[in-house]
Chain A
Amino acid sequence: MDNSGYILSTQNRHYSFTPTELSSLRKHTLELSLTPLASPPALTAHHTLKILTHYTLTLSKLCHHFGVPSAVRGTAITILHRLYLHLSPVTTHPKTLLLPILLLAMKTELGGTSISQFIRTAEEVGLSTTKKELQSPELMIAAGLRWSLTVRHPWRGLDGAMVVLIREFGDQEDARIRKASQKARQWLTGDCFMTDAGFLYTPSQLLWAALWAQDQELIDRYMKGRFSDEVAEKIKECADVFVFGTRKIAGCEEEAIRWGGAVNEKELVSEAKVGDRMVHLARKELDQGRKRAEEEALGREAEERERRKKKRKMEMEKMKADDVFGPAL
């Protein structure tokens, strides 16, 4: 049901998972960042995901403040979550990357923006930043994304879906179709970002799930005979789990997944704070270790330079001596 371009898209190749794959990748990335620590805190992928979810909300608010279109907001939030599949908050805290991520999303979706304007807009909400701070993480972000800068937003197919539905059911259902489509858009450009649905379903499965959630009777009729039972099941599963948040995926009790359902902001903040404290402790130890390693490396380098200088001096002296005694033949 997706066009042939989707199969080879980076979204499908790098960012499409089963729930188990997704949560083990997150666990793996966190473990990797904690290995250098002598006494790692009891930080779990569940905690880091809460931190990330908290910053997703912050990023979303930032996007509203910047007045960017849904495509930029969707891309920015997707970049944040794709990046943190390979990056741990212990290594680089998400709060330092929110503005650079928003800037990158504006560059890929809108073809650039004025940096000074961007800095001024950030200042309006008390975030002071510089051009260098905004741009220096860009390579790390792009490399962390495996250089996949395209995000296929499911709502882009909504107008097309509306056309086929009206063709199927005729003008008498026009109002009903429009209403379903409008509500589907609301979910796809809103709460959907607070879940992992984008990692687990194709854009068109998401699109039909969002529509089905709004008007089951109508969309059931449309899907019958058109979509295989398997695909239809997948669409309904997506709606139940992520739009309604009424069930989890059978046989999958994974903790490091953002399931659907309402987000309680207060609860989220307190959970994120618990995680954040541990992240800070871990970072402290990591920074000390890093500093020690850097100093050692610098010391070694200085020693090496000194040694080479001495050696060169000796060689030069020998050569001069050669000249004094004539060519060595």
Chain B
Amino acid sequence: MDTPTLSVSADADAPVMLLTGDIARFNDETRDKYTKGQKIGEGTYAVVFKGHEKVTGRPVAIKKIKISSADDGMSLDSLREIKHLQELHHENIIELLDIFVGKRHNIHVVLEHLAGDLEGIIRDTKNFLFGSSEIKSWMAMSLRGLWWCHINGVLHRDIKPNNLLYTTNGVLKLADFGLARNFGEPGEVRMTAQVITRWYRPPELFFGARSYSSAVDVFSLGLVFAELIKRVPLLAGDSDVGQLQLIARTLGTPTESNWPGVSKLPSYVIPNADDVKPEADRAFYRMNFFSISQSGQDLMRFMLRLDPRKRISCRQALESEWFKEEPLPTKPENLPIKKDKEALEKVGQDLKRRAGFDERMDGGDLDVGNRGSKVARRLDFGAM
């Protein structure tokens, strides 16, 4: 390459590049649209706050990315989440409302506020009972959200119950796009096989497939389907090797006969050589998932096929008889949901009040009040 006529070098010790002019104004306007309230959760790379959109009063979740991007740049997780959610607008995908940079150079992602996730409901066997109609409704909504990702060329790559969130009206939303990426582009660069939480990861990824497709998400969702029925993860392996063995023992051993070409994948092994199993058939699903109808069992089987090319697409899944036959899917507003912490606290306070529990009669409160007034008097005096 010729040396460019005008040199291309940045200032020697450039400070953090601040937002200026129009860019700063736009950022401030965006930030000023919201109020930031209490912390409501914390993930691996973000702290989440409750907030409100000032004009509408609409509750929002403000996700503050932990690492300041000032010197390290944007993490790939937040970059992917922002990149993809900006483009995906669908009833069953979490809505990204805005993004702004905070005073300490942390990225803040403003998302619609959601009430809880499916994991919370699946695990809470004491408080939640549900059957085919509810499961049908959750599955249909998940499939619709996932279908929209796929026709827009996006793989989610982390489908699992705690990434399936719902609104206070029971509407399900796919969330957490930190691992998502585009697919289906010709001349594609190879993709990493190190994605999807182990329990929901399809066999092709354990075999090191570098060009995979939307079928990876369908498999994960198939396992969520099974989990909604069983109320425990279907395949809870404790290591990658163990997980693959579990897949082979439960759903069948991947071989050239049920999956042509599988033996050519980079890390192909027969995980259970001493105990080779044929691919799980209708009888397996009938025995294990007897609480749903035949068409539901078929749907699950097609979602969990070993060979990714044989797995059905989201669109085909949505056309399944299962969604059309009785009992019909529950309307979202009638689905069970977990009350969020704030709602629970409010219920708690109402109960306390009803029981004649007055805060001012609480000894501790009285003490604090007293101390407070002492301090106040003294400061008043000092400022005189």
Residues of chain A whose beta carbon lies under 8 Å from any beta carbon of chain B: 3, 5, 8-10, 29, 32-33, 54-55, 58, 61-62, 64-65, 69, 71, 86-88, 91-92, 95-96, 98-100, 103, 107-108, 110-112, 125-129, 132-140, 142-144, 146-150, 156, 159, 269, 272-273, 276, 315, 318-319, 322, 328
Contacts and interface: CB of A to CB of B under 8 A. Distances in A.
Given A156-B186, A328-B381, A135 B73 contact: yes
Contacts of A10: 86-87
Given A98-B8, A139-B101, A150-B83, 9 more contacts: A64-B1, A95-B7, A96-B14, A135-B69, A137-B14, A140-B18, A143-B23, A149-B82, A149-B83
A136 B5 contact: no
A328 B15 CA distance: 51
Contact of B17 (A55, A125, A137, A276): A137
27 contacts: A10-B87, A54-B5, A58-B4, A58-B6, A61-B2, A86-B22, A86-B23, A88-B21, A95-B7, A99-B8, A99-B10, A100-B10, A107-B76, A110-B189, A111-B181, A125-B1, A125-B3, A126-B3, A128-B9, A137-B14, A139-B19, A139-B74, A140-B18, A147-B82, A149-B86, A318-B382, A319-B378
A87 B22 contact: yes
Interface residues of B, number: 56
B314 to A, nearest CB: 15
B300 interface: no
B3 A139 contact: no
Nearest to B99: A147
A127 B9 contact: yes
B107 interface: yes
B105 interface: yes
Contact of A322 (B14, B15, B83, B381): B381
Interface string B73-107: 11010011011101101000000000111000101
B283 interface: no
A77 B15 CA distance: 25
B274 interface: no
A286 B189 CA distance: 44
A281 B19 CA distance: 22
A107 B79 contact: yes
A315 B8 contact: no
Among all A-B residue pairs, the 4 with the closest Cβ atoms: A135-B73, A149-B83, A137-B17, A96-B10
Interface of B: 1-11, 14-23, 26-27, 69-74, 76, 79-80, 82-84, 86-87, 89, 99-101, 105, 107, 151-152, 181, 185-187, 189, 192, 377-378, 381-383
Given A29-B22, A322-B378, A135 B86 contact: no
A92 B22 CA distance: 12
B186 A91 contact: no
B21 A133 contact: no
A155 to B, nearest CB: 9
A61 B1 contact: yes
Given A95-B6, A149-B83, A87 B21 contact: yes
Which of B4, B16, B20, B26 has the most chain A CB atoms inside 10 A of its CB? B4
Nearest to A36: B21
B100 to A, nearest CB: 8
Contacts of B79: 107-108, 149
Contacts of A71: 185, 187
Contacts of B8: 58, 62, 95, 98-99, 127
A33 B9 contact: no
A318 B380 CA distance: 11
A122 to B, nearest CB: 9
B152 to A, nearest CB: 4
Contacts of B378: 319, 322, 328
A112 B83 CA distance: 14
A61 B6 CA distance: 13
